[in-house]
Amino acid sequence: MYNNTEYLYADNEHSALYNNTEYLYTDNKHVALYNNTEYLYTDNKHVPLYNNTEYLYTDNKHVALYNNTEYLYADNEHSALYNNTDNTTHSTIHLKACVRNNTEYLYTDNKHVALYNDTEYLYTDNKHVALYNYTIYTLIINMSLCIIIQMMASADLRGELTCSVCLKIYTDPVTLPCGHSFCRACTENVLDTREVRRYSCPECRFNLGGKNELKRNHRLCNIVDRLQLTARKKIGIPCTYCIHSPVPAAKTCLHCEASLCEAHLRVHSKSAEHVLTEPTTSLENRKCSVHKEILKYYCSEDATSVCVSCSLAGNHRGHQVQTLNEASEKKKEKLRNILQKLTSKRKEAEKRVHSLQELRIKVQKRGAGVTKEVTALIRGIKKQLEAVEKQVLSEISRQKKQVSLRVSDLIRQLEIKKEDLSRKMGHIEELCNMTDPLTVLQVRESDRVDYCDTEEGDNEDRERDDNKVRAVGDLDLGLISVTLHSGLAGIVTGLKRQCHVPANILQGVALAPDMILDVNTAANNVTVSGDMKTVFWSKIIQSRPETPERFQSDQVLSATSFSSGRHYWEVEGSESGGWRVGMAYRSIDREGWQSRIGISSKSWGLERLGKKMYELRHDSKVTFWLCHHLSSQRLGIYLDYEAGRLSFYELCDPISHLLTFTATFTEPLHALFGTQEAMSVQVPDIGEG
């Protein structure tokens, strides 16, 4: 910096812009010698001599001679002559020239000039001079030739689509018979300004028959439209004042109705009436539709934006108005409050999601643990059943073998007897067949007695044999049955013992088989069974002592209470009529409507209102209705005191979950039973039925 001025640095010389004029500073004079070359700077023209080469810069055209090379830059046309050759770019390291998006680049050995795109610029009279050293360059000296050629292609296309009259991209292009193309408006304007009414091509002076020979070039129109669409997509909203090359707009002035780039924004008016917004092409919605003025105020009564005329003399005269900024800030404040609430709700939702995810993981882990334990239990039961089966089958096999041995022994004895009888029968048959009487009569007397014994002892032998057969017996089904029941009873006993161990199956759920009723709380119109497990409604009023603990109507508490842990028990109601079961604090009212199950905040329960109507309620709120007949009047009740969960299940096949109450229990809980109209509720032993 020199006197608050930015400089270009080249070989220890300093070049700056001063009052839109380029200077080299030497001894505070605006004339400098560089390599024995004199530079003279005047207001808008610059004529330097460099190695006896003259450079001339005018407003819109630039002609430069460098080492006998001519460069011509005129708005959107770019040509480079190198050694009298028309080139766009050169592969030689000594000189590289290219055009990219209407950007002029000139690269020599140690000199760099870059205009536009990713480069810092000094602006003077719509001309751009790039800073040398400490400058960002789009192209570097060693950039590959293929990339430069690719960038040149886009610029060449724009050059081919530029009208030589207005030096802008074609607008509604027409093609003359000679082959040259121009904007329709440009062609008509040129033809209309001819003093002699003879039409000719503005470029080659080819004679035309008339304006009717101006034929619209549809293909060229399509190419131009495609190019402009691509340019718009690339830069968005362009600066209104950068007419030579599109530059993205930074702001839009509502007063000027123009979009401005960063450069033009710096010199734009800073007055309050020049309201700046984000770049936009639609300004109609920011103006009053009646007065065509900029909308500056906001009418709170009509909730609409208005102009000055509307607020002073229009339909909104006398209404409460405020500036757009004030109204916007108020709305932003409301939106911030809403955003804060929404943020809070989102955090709560995220917290719930996190909690649910943790619950899901917890349930999955617990489910895996329970599955493992249940599987182990069932496997154990199967092993025990297999052992019982083996024992019973072994007993059956033993009895079969024993009977078989007895039968075999008896058969052997009978076979011997059979042979003896056959022998005697043969001897007698021989005697009967003899013809000699003397021989028959000479048979020994002992043989005759033996024959008589056989004849006389026939009945005795038959009875003795029958006794032997009966003695063989059948399978001892009684012993088999005892063996079977004994084994099964052992399994059941083991299961009950396991269910009472907190660390075992179902995560410490303890059965409550000893759930008995507290007769001291029983109303006088109910009867409690001798085992204290069933309550009946009774027409006969009982004569029990009046105590503060006693209910005044058809209810009774259990003697058992729960203040921690997880517990399960079952109840069974009558198949008709009404009854109630649930849980309550011992501090529940003993009389009045508040004493009934589910009416106050101190009780939770299920009530059967009729054959097909059930309700679960708490604190007078019905939380669940059942309008169908339960397939089973037997219910399972599960209490998790610490978790604050009280669940009801219908013990059908399969088991059906009815409802779970959730609460924070603050007192010990007792089971509560109620019945009416000659109905009963009982607490069966677990496993009955």
pTM, full prediction: 0.40
How far is 246 from 224, CA to CA, in rounded Å?
Answer: 15
Q: To the nearest whole number, what is the mean pLDDT of the chain?
A: 72
What are residue 661's phi and psi, to 5 degrees?
Answer: -85, 140
Report whether 607 contacts 580 (CB < 8 A): yes
Among 140-144, 263-267, 279-283, 388-392, the least confident range: 140-144
* 3-state helix vs strand vs coil in the chain, percent to 5: 35, 30, 40
Q: 356 falls in which pLDDT band (50, 70, 90)? A: very high
With beta carbons less than 8 A apart as the criterion, state whether 601 and 619 touch.
yes
Q: What is the band of 11 on the pLDDT scale with cuts at 50, 70, 90?
A: very low
**Across 240-263, average pLDDT:** 85
Instruction: State both tokens at 11.
Output: 């070989």
Lowest-pLDDT choice from 89-93, 388-392, 429-433, 559-563: 89-93
Neighbours of 32 (CB within 10 A): 19
d(CA 629, CA 573): 13
Q: CA-CA distance, 390 to 642, in Å (whole number)?
A: 45
The domains of the chain, with CATH numbers, are 173-235 (3.30.40.10), 251-286 (no CATH), 352-472 (no CATH), 512-682 (2.60.120.920)
Distance CA 522, CA 533 (A): 12
Give the three-state DSSP class for 446.
Answer: helix
Report the pLDDT value the prediction gives residue 456, as an integer from 0 to 100: 54
Strands (E), 457-513: 509-511
Order of strands across the sheet that contains 669-675: 555-562, 669-675, 579-585, 603-610, 613-618, 621-626
d(CA 67, CA 53): 8
10 Å Cβ neighbour count for 247? 22
What are the pLDDT digits (tens) for 55-89? 444 333 444 443 444 444 333 333 333 333 333 33
Between 332 and 459, whose confidence is greater?
A: 332
Token pair in block for residue 437: 């009487």
pLDDT at 491: 81
pLDDT band at 357 (very low <50, low <70, confident <90, very high): very high
* Residue 622, beta-bridge partner list: 617
**How far, in Å, CA of 240 to CA of 71, rounded?**
29
Q: Where are the beta strands (DSSP E) in 378-445?
A: none
Mean local confidence (pLDDT), 627-636: 72
Q: Give kind and range of the element (H or E) at residue 375.
A: helix 324-433
- What pLDDT does 337 receive? 94
Q: What is the pLDDT of residue 292?
A: 77
- Per-residue confidence at 106, pLDDT binned at 50, 70, 90? very low
**624 in Cβ contact with 615 (< 8 Å):** yes
Instruction: Tell me how far CA of residue 446 lies from CA of 221, 443, 452, in angstroms.
Output: 152, 9, 10
pLDDT over 90 (residue 642):
yes
- Which carries the bigger pLDDT value, residue 69 or residue 285? 285
Distance CA 324, CA 272 (A): 13
Q: What is the pLDDT of residue 472?
A: 66
Taking the CA atoms of residue 100, residue 102, residue 106 and residue 112 in that order, the dihedral angle to the nearest 10 degrees is -90
pLDDT in the model for residue 519: 92
The arithmetic mean of pLDDT across residues 23-52, rounded, is 42
Q: What is the mean pLDDT of residues 35-53?
A: 42
CA distance 620 to 123: 82
The DSSP code for 679 is -
| DSSP string computed for 135-147 | ---SS-TT--HHH
For residues 341 and 285, the model is more confident at 341
pLDDT for 660: 86
- Cβ atoms 324, 311 nearer than 8 A: no
Does residue 543 surpass a pLDDT of 80? Answer: yes
- Which sign, positive or negative, has the C-alpha torsion 347, 351, 354, 360? negative
Give the SS3 label for residue 387.
Answer: helix
What mean pLDDT is predicted for residues 437-448? 73
Sheet strands side by side (includes 103-108): 95-100, 103-108, 112-114
Residue 681 CB-density burial (10 A; 0-12 exposed, 13-18 middle, 19+ buried): buried
Reading phi first (left if > 0) and then psi (alpha if -120 to 50, else beta), residue 442 is in alpha
Please state whether beta strands 566-573 and 509-511 pair in parallel, antiparallel, or not at all (unpaired): parallel
> Taking the CB of residue 22, how many other CB atoms lie within 10 A of it?
19
Non-local (6+) Cβ contacts of 286 within 8 A are: 254, 277, 280, 294, 295
**Range 465-483 average pLDDT:** 71
How far is residue 622's CA from residue 555's CA, in Å, rounded to a whole number?
Answer: 20
Two tokens, residue 85:
């050759």
Q: What percent of the chain has pLDDT over 90?
A: 16
